Amino acid sequence: MMKEILVILKKDLKETLHTRTFLISIALTILVVYYVLINLERTIGAMLKTNTVIEPTGYIQPIIDIAIFSVMLIVAVYYSFMINSYTLLIEKTKHSLESLLCTPLSLKQFWFGKTMSMFIPSTILGFLFTLAAFCATNVFVIYPKVGHWIYPGAVSFVAIFIAVPSIVLFLSALFYLLQLIIANVRLINIIFMFVLIITINVLILGSSNLKSSWSLVFISLGVAAILGLTNLFLFRMLTKERIVLTSKG
């Protein structure tokens, strides 16, 4: 059955990554990352002016940790949202969901394949943009002011390899599951976009005021656990008949 799941994965990626919408989303992501860099430059510049005696690594590293977490989460969740919205819209427009349900895949395998088609590319893009943001921050902000690069702490690695991917995985699964259960896709899109905008503002504007970057990681793991349990609860409502009915909505 893994072969059939890979077919779903390749199909969704091919339909999404070769579109104008995807290219526009890349441009929008670059603007968001640029906004993060501007905020970092102001924060780090202000801290360097008020802390002229203390070694800057001690108070700049937590800011980098929070910034890495923020960029990774925002980018990955955004692309998960974008890929899902586009592929499901195409499927409901062309009524191709019914043909996919005729394959030997079970509902769990079908759901898993669709989730992976959102999770894998969005997580990879999250890694790439986070790495680019980290390098740009050191090259254009930190090195000119401090004279050397400042690297992230252990919290960043826990965030980008465990906490954020967990949230993106379960959120992708939940997002697609809800759109299979509920006919009003536009309402779900609006709700998720609203949540994404709030997340961007809270993380970027509030990052400089947080005392511990580990708190974000622990909160994220808790959110991931809640999302996972929500998926298990809602999956009981998923049937092929419901999918067919909502696809006509």
pLDDT tens-digit profile of 63-107? Answer: 888 888 888 988 898 888 888 777 766 666 666 666 666 666 777
Q: List for the chain the helix, strand, coil content (%; round to 5).
A: 85, 0, 15
Half-sphere exposure for 20 (CA within 13 Å, toward CB): 0
Assess whether pLDDT exceeds 80 at residue 191. no
Q: What is the largest CA-CA distance in the chain?
A: 68
Half-sphere exposure of 191 (CA within 13 A, CB side): 10
Residue 120 pLDDT > 70:
yes
Stretch 144-169: mean pLDDT, rounded? Answer: 89
- Tens of pLDDT, residue by residue over 16-42, are 767 777 888 888 888 888 888 888 888
pLDDT of residue 97: 64
Domain parsing of the chain, residue ranges: 2-247
Measured CA to CA, the distance from residue 128 to residue 157 in angstroms comes to 14
Residue-wise pLDDT for 222-237, tens only, equals 888 988 998 999 888 8
C-alpha distance across the termini of the chain, in Å = 29
**Residue 44 one-letter amino acid:** I
Residue 245 contacts residue 183 (beta carbons within 8 Å)? yes
Is the model more confident about 216 or about 137? 137
Which residue's entry shows tokens 């996919």?
100
pLDDT, tens digit, for every residue of 168-190? Answer: 999 888 888 887 787 666 777 77
How far from chain centre, in Å, is Cα 89?
Answer: 20
Mean pLDDT over 43-55 rounds to 78
pLDDT at position 68 = 87
- Asked whether the beta carbons of 189 and 98 are under 8 A apart, the reply is no
pLDDT at 212: 55
pLDDT of the residue at 162 = 92
Angstrom distance (rounded) from CA 94 to CA 2? 25
Please give the pLDDT value at position 127: 94
Q: Given this model, what pLDDT does residue 2 score? A: 65
- Burial string for 138-170 (b: 16+ CB within 10 Å, else e) reads beebbeeebeeebebbebbebbbeebbbbbbbb
Give the residue among 228, 248, 236, 23 at the shortest CA–CA distance from 115: 228
Mean pLDDT across the chain, nearest whole number? 79
- Cα distances (Å, whole numbers) of residue 123 to 72, 75, 172: 8, 8, 11
Average pLDDT over residues 125-146: 90
User: Mean per-residue pLDDT for 120-134?
Assistant: 91
Q: CB-based contacts of 101: which residues, under 8 Å, 6+ apart?
A: 110, 240, 243, 244
In this predicted structure, the answer to whether residue 117 has a pLDDT above a threshold of 70 is yes
Greater confidence (198 vs 223) lies with 223
